[in-house]
Amino acid sequence: MSLTLVLLVLLVALVFEYINGFHDTANSIATVVATKVLSPGQAVLLAAATNMLGAMWGTAVAKTISSGLVDAGVVAMTPQLLICALLGATIWDLITWWWGLPSSSSHALVGGLCGAALAAAGGNWHAIIWSVPAEHWWLGKGMLNKVILPMVVSPAAGFILGFIIMGSLFALLSFLGGLGGRIQRGARPHVVNAIFAKVQIVSSGFMGLSHGLNDAQKTMGIIALALAAATSAGSLEHLPWWLSFLRVESDASGQFGIATWIKGTCAVVMAAGTMAGGWRIIRTLGHKMVKLHPINGVAADTAASSIIITASMLGIPVSTTHNVSSAIMGVGFAKRANAIRWTVVERMVWAWILTIPIAGTLAYMLVMALKLAGWGG
């Protein structure tokens, strides 16, 4: 394993992080832009700042990505495999961004890792850690505990919580003066909009914080995995002093810490990607799916960010996309069932379902191509 390959992994990982920034930025700012509480430029600045703060807070998700999905006893994730995994995820991210579909960068990366590991193991499915049980399912390891169950549970929770928060706000406004009924009939009382426009700036900030907390950590995990493997292989033994920070040592349990420079680099790169925006996806989430007012944006942001922050603390790499989208659906459903444009939802759900298998297939094919070329078996 050469230093050049290790640095190439870092470069590709940071490209993925940048794309994640502008691909998933739409998720964290779609509601605040759609309700016209902030201009697109103001919303992007808010998202960039809060994404960076979130990225510096916690490492549980990074450790799941780096050591909880692929069995190192069956296949070692070499730099070549990590590059293929990242490229598979990146290609799918760019395709869905071009189509304006809010797919999950998280699940694209998981699919890429699994596809690359499967190809390297010669089709041995034991290369993937499926489930390591614990007292509670969310404390276990593996695809079932950390990806598949949360992929179903977290959007459902986002929908339900969005519905409950929106319904509670309607009930509160109705109690305070009968405004809730008028909002449900489509009116836009000036006072309610003015109050919730201010609240939505705060809720959108929490949405950006939760996105950085969960999504940025996935790339941190990939970088730490590559550096730990290179350190163990002795590839980083004779580095000049100014590159000594690249060495990552694991502890007795096989886990390793996420260095501050890794956190900081991922935070800055994600913020830079965020600054590039993601207006195609914003149109889908904020305009096409449900018509949003500030009160709806507050409910959706609060529901989604609550789910994501909770999952992040448990080390679960959930999808920001899935949670924001389902929360918006729940908010729309609280208004009335036909407030949701179900044809748009159908396209999004197909993107959700296909993300892991397609990203995995792309990574698998890239690894096989490298094998045929005689490089990176």
Weakly modelled stretches of the chain, pLDDT under 50: 185-187, 252, 286, 377
- Tell me what pLDDT residue 32 has: 83
- Tell me what pLDDT residue 185 has: 47
Give the model confidence (pLDDT) of 317-346 as tens digits: 888 878 888 898 898 888 777 767 777 677
- Rounded Cα distance, 127 and 120, in Å: 9
Tell me which residue has tokens 């298998």: 357
The three-state (H, E, C) secondary structure of 76-107, written as one string: CCCHHHHHHHHHHHHHHHHHHHHHCCCCCHHH
CB 297 within 8 A of CB 204: yes
Give the model confidence (pLDDT) of 263-290 as tens digits: 889 888 888 887 776 555 555 554 555 6
The residue length of the chain stands at 377
Six-digit token string for 352: 């959700």
Residues 6 or more apart in contact with residue 124 via CB below 8 angstroms: 74, 75, 118
- Tell me what pLDDT residue 193 has: 80
- Rounded Cα distance, 141 and 123, in Å: 21
In this structure, is the dihedral angle defined by the CA atoms of residues 177, 179, 182 and 184, taken in order, positive or negative?
negative
- Rounded Cα distance, 265 and 270, in Å: 9
Beta bridge partners of 132: 141
- Tell me what pLDDT residue 116 has: 94
Six-digit token string for 65: 């990505």
- Which of 312, 270, 217, 302 shows the shortest CA–CA distance to 48? 270
- Rounded Cα distance, 48 and 105, in Å: 17
CB 304 within 8 A of CB 136: no
Report the amino acid identity of residue 49: A
- Which of 339, 345, 330, 280 shows the shortest CA–CA distance to 300? 330
What count of other Cβ atoms lies within 10 Å of the Cβ of residue 192? Answer: 21
Provide the CB-side half-sphere exposure for 144 (13 A, CA): 9
Helix 342-372 / helix 320-335 crossing angle, nearest 10 deg: 170
- Rounded Cα distance, 20 and 37, in Å: 24
Sketch the domain layout of the chain as residue ranges.
3-372
